[in-house]
């Protein structure tokens, strides 16, 4: 390892919550001062009141791959069969739209709201078969659009501050790619590699872009989150005591805490014995500041009447 790489250790967030099978998609809810994240396979949304140290959990009733806050204060969620709105206080679920067709061998994976108020989420085969997944875009008042097709494990994504670039991961490629965007953010062009992750470091999973334009990438199988400059140069490495690191986001009142989700899924009994904290939530302060989460525009009457 280069001497220029700073190593930081993440600490367990001490909360009354057991491990997730696949903890994913953390997002800071500024209006509620809460961290929200999902357990994909168990179909759960967790909401952590950071100041009180209390967690509430909403059972969605099917696998849930990703969530994002909305302009009305709800959450939009990508579930196995489509998209729903979730009231984070009552837990009430309102179906927006189903995927067409619904395929029981496919599930939603990672997703995020964009700077224009749309929600992007991708799919993958339950058996991880090549090319079975797609990346979809949900826009208020519009049909769900297919943005990228034929991916294997649609994963982390985020946008540059100037709205000219979208970063995107299809995990088995071992790359973070970038797309050029038009002024509306709907047209993706010039897909090209931005970061190539060596096999020894794991595979790319979820990611977030900080206020300085640095990209923080979770490494599945790599026991780490790694920071890359806006030019793609590796920097700070955050080490974790478990191998399957899934995603990260900045939160807290100053957006200086990096929250990191992990998974137990695909670890055998011997590995689970060696990694007793697999599937738990972690936190560190790596010396960077995050950005407020983008909000999904859920104002369309058509959207709220759907389902």
All structural domains of the chain with their residue ranges:
7-305
Q: How far apart are CA 36 and CA 74, in angstroms?
A: 12
Fill in the DSSP letter of residue 255. Answer: T
pLDDT of residue 102: 85
Q: How far apart are CA 292 and CA 228, in angstroms?
A: 20
Q: How far apart are CA 300 and CA 292, in angstroms?
A: 23
Q: What is the pLDDT along the chain (307 residues), one digit of tens a residue?
A: 445 689 999 999 999 999 999 999 999 999 999 999 999 999 999 999 999 999 999 999 999 999 999 999 999 999 999 999 999 999 999 999 998 888 999 999 999 999 999 999 999 999 999 999 999 999 998 899 999 999 999 999 999 999 999 999 999 999 999 999 999 999 999 999 999 999 999 999 999 999 999 999 999 999 999 999 999 999 999 999 999 999 999 999 999 999 999 999 999 999 999 999 999 999 999 999 999 999 999 988 767 665 5
First vs last Cα of the chain: how many Å apart? 52
Buried b or exposed e, range 211-226, using 16+ CB within 10 angstroms: eeebbbbbbbebbbbb
Q: How far apart are CA 248 and CA 208, in angstroms?
A: 6
User: In the chain, where does DSSP find H-type helix?
Assistant: 269-274, 301-305
pLDDT of residue 305: 62
The CA-based diameter of the chain, rounded to the nearest angstrom, is: 57
Helix or strand or coil: residue 236?
Answer: strand
For residue 37, the cross-strand partners are 46
Which CATH fold topology does 7-305 show? Neuraminidase (2.120.10)
Q: How far apart are CA 285 and CA 280, in angstroms?
A: 17
Q: How far apart are CA 107 and CA 82, in angstroms?
A: 9
pLDDT of residue 306: 55
Cα 105 versus chain centre, distance = 21
**Residue 210 backbone dihedrals phi, psi, to 5 degrees:** -90, -175
Q: How far apart are CA 167 and CA 184, in angstroms?
A: 16
Contact 182, 130 (CB under 8 A): no
Tokens encoding 19: 């491990």
- Answer positive or negative: Cα dihedral of 214, 215, 218, 222: negative
Query: Look-up: residue for tokens 């600490």?
Result: 11
- Residues sharing a CB contact under 8 Å with residue 194, sequence separation 6 or more, in sequence order: 167, 175, 176, 177, 178, 232
Q: How far apart are CA 282 and CA 77, in angstroms?
A: 23
Closest by CA to 238, choosing from 257, 228, 221, 225, is: 225
Contact 69, 113 (CB under 8 A): yes
């Amino acid at each position: 390892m280069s001497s220029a790489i700073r190593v930081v250790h993440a600490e367990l967030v001490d909360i009354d919550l057991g491990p997730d099978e696949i903890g994913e998609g953390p997002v800071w809810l500024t209006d509620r001062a809460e961290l929200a994240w999902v357990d994909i396979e168990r179909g759960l949304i967790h909401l952590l009141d950071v100041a009180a140290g209390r967690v509430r959990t909403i059972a969605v009733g099917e696998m849930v791959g990703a969530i994002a806050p909305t302009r009305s204060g709800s959450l939009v969620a990508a579930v196995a069969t489509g998209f729903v709105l979730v009231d984070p206080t009552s837990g009430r679920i309102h179906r927006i739209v189903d995927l067409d067709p619904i395929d029981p061998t496919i599930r939603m994976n990672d997703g995020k709201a964009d700077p224009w108020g749309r929600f992007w989420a991708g799919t993958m085969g339950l058996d991880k078969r090549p090319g079975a997944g797609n990346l979809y875009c949900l826009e208020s008042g519009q049909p769900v659009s297919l943005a990228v097709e034929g991916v294997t494990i649609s994963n982390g994504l985020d946008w540059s501050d100037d709205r000219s670039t979208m970063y995107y991961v299809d995990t088995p490629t071992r790359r973070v790619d970038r797309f050029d965007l038009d002024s509306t953010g709907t047209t993706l062009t010039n897909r090209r590699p931005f970061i190539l992750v060596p096999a020894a470091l794991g595979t790319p999973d979820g990611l977030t872009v900080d206020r300085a334009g640095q990209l923080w990438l979770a490494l599945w199988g790599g026991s780490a989150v790694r920071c890359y400059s806006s030019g793609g140069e590796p920097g700070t490495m955050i080490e974790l005591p478990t191998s399957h690191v899934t995603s990260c986001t900045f939160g807290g009142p100053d957006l200086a805490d990096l929250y990191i989700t992990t998974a137990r899924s695909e670890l055998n009994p011997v590995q689970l014995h060696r990694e007793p904290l697999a599937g738990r939530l972690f936190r560190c302060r790596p010396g960077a500041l995050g950005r407020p989460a983008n909000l999904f525009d859920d104002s369309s009457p058509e959207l709220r009447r759907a389902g």
